[in-house]
Structure 1
């Protein structure tokens, strides 16, 4: 089976190219080969490749910049996934799409489940929610995997930023009043591959029974400050990490104070991701 993987140079996409190898021929494309802001190009690639499955790991992820570029964020995170979903449905190809904890407003006191009402606080979250809705409306078999605080050793993310600043001797000031679950990109990719392996074994009826939205995040929870402390400790860097409030950190986009997601549906049917501390140790080990 030919699997079209978008966003191959991103954090999750890079890991997916490895994780999906056992499932078929992975055609991994970067923005240079398929730019999700160019809907005509997206359509052309789909109709030329005619994949048997689509895994969309591409997206607009600049949370603050999205406030200034809402049209571009919606084109990449909503219109393009909707087009991919419709084209995939026409081919009879299932689709995997990634979403975010930022579809929630953070007002819930406990962990969010898949059926909780979404109410994003920022343009990025709004565009990702619109993408979920567009993929579901595409009419084909699909998985929508919401993940949170994704990090890895490649590219620009919270982990690499903290390591760089700490190595430079900077005194870190990190927000302590936002709760979530840091999730290793490899955990997301390996979980995706596990789910799709079961889908292949289960046949066409599998998607009707097991498709839809899943929360895919590390077990446990922390704050950005707690995550930063764990990073420098695990890396063996002597560095001060001072807690600050969200109001003390200049950010264009409002973030949810609580974006912890309950992953019971995933755990019951497939697997449980490692605790975030264990995953961090594996990532840096």
Structure 2
């Protein structure tokens, strides 16, 4: 399929990234509440400590004979913050605010998010595992540079996986099941019309994932989603993989046309639309 945080363009180094014109980028708000929870974890300011026999002892308000309140669970807070930061970084990546070839430091990104550097590093490590960034020792993380050939290869692999499954489902899934996907298809059209590539990327993956989920194969859905996400990363030069707004709108309308054909049971049209959809994938 074809395919911001607040000003993520950058120069190499641990200190600062240069500001980039805002344009029509999607904005990701800072998270002060999450920041406070994460700072509490990093500084170790728990109100209760384990004593020698494993019970919580109070540092202030607890009175004798009164059971100590349960300890806070900073690990849960940290997981929540890390997940939010990861989602925001993925948004910045898809929108082009994290530019290929540039190095971004965790402390500077953390300051912009309003969190400590720890969840940012953890989120960036996750992106490194996915192949979106690479670690630069003592500096930060560099966004991987990728070209049109890699994008074409991803589209080919996605077609090899998804097209046969869609054609099989077209022959076996009843019309009412396809009709249930109408809101997801319409969501891609709205997102494309708004022009936010990150929002469109999410809606696009949601629609494709829902279609493939009808096959009842969780592994298929996971593999296809990973390939789809990689296909949405920006190209060399900072250009997002999703193309122009007009291309996004055209791509989204292919979803609704495909759904119409699936509901009507017109296999010839389904075959033609699916082939066109992936041949034009970016």
What is the TM-score with the length of structure 1 in the denominator? 0.26
**Counting helix residues as a fraction of each chain, which structure ranks higher?**
2
**Counting strand residues as a fraction of each chain, which structure ranks higher?**
1
Q: For the pair shown, which has the larger CA radius of gyration, 1 or 2?
A: 2
